[in-house]
Structures are given as structure tokens and as C-alpha cells.
Structure 1
């Protein structure tokens, strides 16, 4: 797979690239030039096509989309953050924070564009690999590549449907201009496609333990099962009339991940977010980054610089707000070592004895008071283990779905189905990792409140909070409590202006 990444730019020239899937017409063929007709001729070429399909995950290929646009889209919408001073130099950033954006916002356009590029790449893999002959590719490789393409198409559509109220289904490579205009599908139709693709992928994907080290980052059976569970949980939030059926099916898929024994919670929570570990036993699906420039295939970013407070030498684009700290400290110092829940220390720097211990200065060798003023709440997640890595691109992998998420989603589904004991078992196992004592809750409403808290503790700055609040029906309530100028029509992003201008049916 790593070798195949080298060919992404070459393949991109031969594949359909733009958001609306326009097809370049060649007047004459050149025998030494790659085209979609002569490219799909071997297993290696098929893997190269698959690498292109992977390349659009989280829009990682570009600075503006991954570091800036993605961070604004997914973090600034949350009720627990505020922009730093520099962010006000970029109107398309603060439009997201202030919920004043419109269809012309650059970050929204990038989100739509890159996910449809990913979908276009996966469609080409699905169509072309499917018709490759036995002489061109062996049956096992063919089955695996098609399964991964189904998983990736579901992933891209999951990103779209959770961000846009209207989504256009493009499930084939366009055959001429007549295929380009297309109206949005209903949300149930899009959810059906996502779930169908994941179910098509799951049987033919390998277990995590069956993936060799050279294939880290590629989809596994557990990843498909986890996203099936997550998609069904999200769908339950939209369709209350069928919620019980969705919770039941979600439980089944999430339980498969748990019963597989392929995953476990890692003891060092912080290591998953500061670059000291990657692809841990907790990672179910993870965005790969590497500083290895051998063979020319490397993926690294400046996300840490964007996330780091200016007091630490970062750009200072995002800070926590007091209501985040209030939520994270609400249980008090009840950890088994007399501290707060350990996850708070791993998520933010804040004014506390823990960070002001002169004998053990925990803010990169300094105490909190030596670095910060005025009770600043600075994020620690996604920062490197040592500050010398700021100002230079680094390679901190990004877990897209973790085993902790699987367990808490399973707990939520079980609670909704009236099985509190199982829900509490899962919650307590996640809490134990952070030295938190077990709880013995039996009331459904109390367990739900605890799950809301646990997801804040566990997933702050992991693109979870906004989407959780929306599926729970708490979005307007929490935004109002945070004093944010949110209105219900901002629950989803609008169709991008470019799409509505170029596609007469996209209204």
C-alpha cells in the first residue's frame, strides 16, 4: 500500500478529478499516456487506484483543507471552544464559529469537493476492478480491493450526510455530460447506501490481526463493523419512529467488534494524540501520517501548530472555554490517586496544582503560571510530546474511530434498549483507564447523562461533540447555554454555491 501511494498523483491525472465529475474528452489516444481505459491492467495498478481512493480521507492531502478548513468546520462549531486572536483575520473561519456562513464559504466548498473526489475514485475502483480478468488480478486481491472501496465510499458519504442536509448520490462513473446534473437524494436513501456499502465490505475485509504491518491504515472487518454501528446510532437520532430497530442493529454490529478480541483500551491515553504511539490496539480506523521520506511517500502536517496556544509557540487559533472545564471537573477529585479524571489533564492545560508543581513541571518543563495568564484553557490534544516539533511538520496519526467509541456507543444503545447493567459495564471499563471509580447507575436518564459526560471526557477535539448534540436533540439547548448565535437552520451546512451553480438540479 505504501508503494502504491507514490502513484496517486500519476493516477489522478488519468482519473476524473473535479467535484461535479466532469469527464475530459480526448481527441486522440496516445499509447504511452495513462487513461482510465488502459490503466486497470494489473493487481499493482488496482492497488494504486485504491491508494487514490484512500487519499481523500479527511482531505489530508492539502494544508488548507486538513489543517485550517477541517479544524474550523469540526471544532469551531462546538460549544466548548473559542477562536484565538489570529482567527479573526480569516472571515471564512469566524463565519463557522459565529454560524454566519453561507453557501459560498470556502471551508464548506472544500468539504464537499474532497469527499466527492474520494467517492469518484472509489466508484472508478469498483467499476474497473470488478471487470478485471483472472489474468490481470487474482481472485483474493480483487475481492479485498472491492471490499475496501465499498468501505471508503461509505466513509465519504458518512462525512457528507453528517455535515450536509442534502446529499447527491453518485454511485457510478459518469458517462458524458448527461450524467452530471443530478438532484439530491432523500436522507433515508443516502443512509441506506452507506449501510449497504458497509455490509458489502464487511465479509471480505480481514481482521486487524490479519493485516501485515505494511498495510496499516487500510480498512479491516472491525472498521466496517464499527462504522455500521455508528451510522445506525446516528440514524436512530434522525428517525425516532424506527430508533429501537436501529439501536438493536447497532448493538449487534458494535458487539461484533467487542467480541472479536482484536481491540483493547490502551493504558496511556495521551500517547494516542501526541505522536508517541500509532495504530495502537485501541485504534479501529486511523489516518496515517509519517515523516519517512524514503520512496517519496510521506504524509505530515502542521495541525499541531494550529492547535497549540500562542503561549506555547503555536498559532493560537483555538482555546477552551470555562464551561468545558466545568464539565470536565464536575465529578471532583475522585480518581483513585486523588486527582481529577485523568482525561482532563490529557486534554487541556489549565490552572491547577497538577500543572503548577515546581518539582514536576508538566507544561513542557514549565509550570502553568510560568506560561499562561488569566486562567487560560489551552488544548493539549494533538500537540507533540516535545515542543521542538512545533514549527515543523510532524506526523501524529489521527484515530478516526477508537475502541472507546465502540464501547460507549454500545453502552448507549444498550441503555436505550433497557439493558442498564451492560451499559454500565462498558462505561466503567472506559472510566477505569483514567483511574476513575466505577459507578452503579440503574436509571436510564441518569445513565444517559453520564454517557453525555463520558463522551466529553473521552472525545473532546475528536470531532464528536457537535454531532452528538445534534443526534441527541440537544444542539439548540447547549448552544444557547454557551451564548452562541446558533439557529436551527445551521444544524447542517448548505449545498455549496459552486454545486448549485453548476448543477441545475441541486436545489
Structure 2
């Protein structure tokens, strides 16, 4: 429970900044209307306290029996704690925390595709993943590919002609171009189009990482990866580079690149290694919900605005998919610094006049 509370507060602070911090049940529901937002620095301290406690009491992943596989473990708590320290730019603590995981029973799988294969859940690279169960009526299935597959693709991607995929999170031209020549992760992670039932190729990219055969429409068996060993290796390489430079960090990033079929890195400056880590995290962890947090962690507000504005300009000039003659609106692809945090939902502010809105909204 300490691990889960820390994980959810980490997400909340990343998305909203200051949030209401609760560490004990309310005696009466009416007390909720008196709660105010806690500064994110204090929330982070509670996150660290919770994770330190979790590290102390959780077993190793290898100590769980078959009935408990998938539960949070000591390695999961250490990995999340290292991510929190990295977010705070506390590089020595991040390094010391993440290095402990190297001595646990984790390793990179030889085949990148097997990392996401439903028949291979909770494997040696998996540190923590959300457990889903398809092929039944128990209500624990996932439906990621139905969210990601292109609209109007029907069964061309998901395999069921009656399906109506939603077409969210289409990989952009920028994302497609980010993969180096020969990177085996590209074909696993995305496809640049599909062939419809009439035999026509439709050049609409889609996320392929969670696309696996299943027996009931809308009910896949894919788990969702939260923390895995490749993430730890790349976080550790980042922490080492920021602390002392890249010399001791190559072994970690090059393990990830070797598995991807790419040549090792060497001879980089601290600044160029920083760029290399950002690139490697983008393609290794593509579509696993890390990129936005990585950008916020590594870029200043001004740099974030500049990067997203430049991306928007490229997409407007050369859209990833056809817009059917619909022009861009003036507000499309416009990003302001305050949008690095989400707005507090209006409903919550209506319910409690103690809550304040984030700047800019």
C-alpha cells in the first residue's frame, strides 16, 4: 500500500503540481471540504518516505509464489524511488538507489517483442506491470489496441470485423523518424499503415506494441508496463552522466542499444550523452507513458515550449495523416508553458472553495 500510494501521488504531482495530501482516513466526510493543496515539495517528501518504507518491508520479486506474481516488490519500490530522485535532480541518490537493482534477478530479454507478449507476462525484465486478463467475462481485460488502432480500420488491425477502434495516439512523423536504421524496436512498437478488407493499403500509423491475438472482441490479455529493467538501466545512465559524466554510463545504455541491434555509443561529451539518453528513452519506452515526464524532467519551461512549438510547426507543414481538406485551426499545436500542468477539474473546484486553480487556466 505504501508503494501504491507513492506511485499515485507521483502521477498526481506530475500532472497537477500541488495536490491534496492525505495519509490517514477522514473521521467525517465533511472534513474533505476543508482540505487544501499541499506544496509538491512536501508531497514528494511523503512519496520518498513511503517508498523507503516499502523498500524495507517488500519481498524480492523472486520470493513471490505463483499465486502472487505481479505484486509490488522491493525492486519496484527501488525503481520508483530512483525515478523520483531523478525527477528531483538528486543524481547521487538516484544512482545509489538504482544501482541496488543491478544485483537483483532482473535482466533484459533477448527479444524486444517478448517484453510485451501476453504469454510472457512478469518476465525477467518486468519490474512492475498492471495485470490484465482477457478471454473471459471477469472484467479484468485490457483494450489498448482498440484505443490505438486507426478509426475505420475495423478488423484489419485488431482481427474482429465488428470492431470500431478509436484512433487515439497516432504515431507522428517525428516519432517514426526517431528510430535509427536497423533498430528492431520500430516494427514491434508501431506500424506505418494497414491493409483494409478491400485489399487497399491505408497509410495511417498506429501503435503496435499491444497488438496480440485474443479470443473475444474488445478484451485483450495485454498487461501494461509501468517499470522495467531497460528503464532502470537508462535512468541509471542518466544519473551517472549528470553526476560525473558519461564514462561510467556507457555500459548501461549500450546494453539497451545492443538488444535493439544498434552499435554501442562512445566518446560523447556530457551534453551529447544527455541527448543520446533522451533519444534512447524515447524509442525504447515508446508508448509506455514516459515521454511527457521525461520532457518535463529534462527541459526548462522555455525549452519545453520551444520544442513543442517546433514539433507543431513541422506537423502543420507536413501532417502525419491526411486531414481530408480540413484546415488547421489557429489554436492547433499551440503550447504555453503553464500547460505543463493540467488544470484542476472544474467539478472539484465547484465542490470545494478551498481549492485553487493552476496558473493560466
Q: Secondary structure of the equivalent of 2:16? A: coil
Structure 1 match to 2:148: 307
Structure 1 residues 309 and 267: alpha-carbon distance in aligned structure 2, compared to 1, 3 A threshold: farther
Superposed, 1:51-450 pairs within 5 Å as 149-177=1-29, 179-180=31-32, 181-236=34-89, 246-260=90-104, 262-291=105-134, 299-310=140-151, 311=153, 312-313=156-157, 315=165, 316-329=167-180, 332=181, 340-350=182-192, 372-374=201-203, 376-384=204-212, 386=213, 389=215, 391-450=217-276
Whether the 8 Å contact between 1:328 and 1:456 is mirrored in structure 2 is: no
1:353-406 C-alpha deviation (Å, 9 max, x unpaired)? xxxxxxxxxx7xx79x955334x322211111x3x6573311101111110000
Using the TM superposition, give the Cα deviation of residue 478 of structure 1 relative to its aligned residue in structure 2, in angstroms. 2.0
Richer in helix (by share)? 1
Between the two structures, name the one with larger relative contact order (CA 8 Å, sep ≥ 6). Answer: 1
Using the TM superposition, give the Cα deviation of residue 462 of structure 1 relative to its aligned residue in structure 2, in angstroms. 0.5
Structure 1: segments with no counterpart, 5+ residues: 1-148, 237-245, 333-339, 352-362
- TM-score normalised per structure 2: 0.83
Q: Secondary structure of the equivalent of 2:170? A: strand
**Aligned partner (choices 456, 466, 471) of residue 297 of structure 2:** 471
Whether the 8 Å contact between 1:349 and 1:377 is mirrored in structure 2 is: yes
Bigger Rg over Cα: 1
Q: Secondary structure of the equivalent of 2:128? A: strand
Report how many aligned residue pairs link the two structures. 321
Using the TM superposition, give the Cα deviation of residue 451 of structure 1 relative to its aligned residue in structure 2, in angstroms. 0.6
Structure 2: segments with no counterpart, 5+ residues: 159-164, 313-332, 357-361
Whether the 8 Å contact between 1:309 and 1:318 is mirrored in structure 2 is: no
Structure 1 residues 297 and 444: alpha-carbon distance in aligned structure 2, compared to 1, 3 A threshold: same
1:25-83 C-alpha deviation (Å, 9 max, x unpaired)? xxxxxxxxxxxxxxxxxxxxxxxxxxxxxxxxxxxxxxxxxxxxxxxxxxxxxxxxxxx
Q: Secondary structure of the equivalent of 1:318? A: coil
| RMSD, aligned α-carbons | 2.2
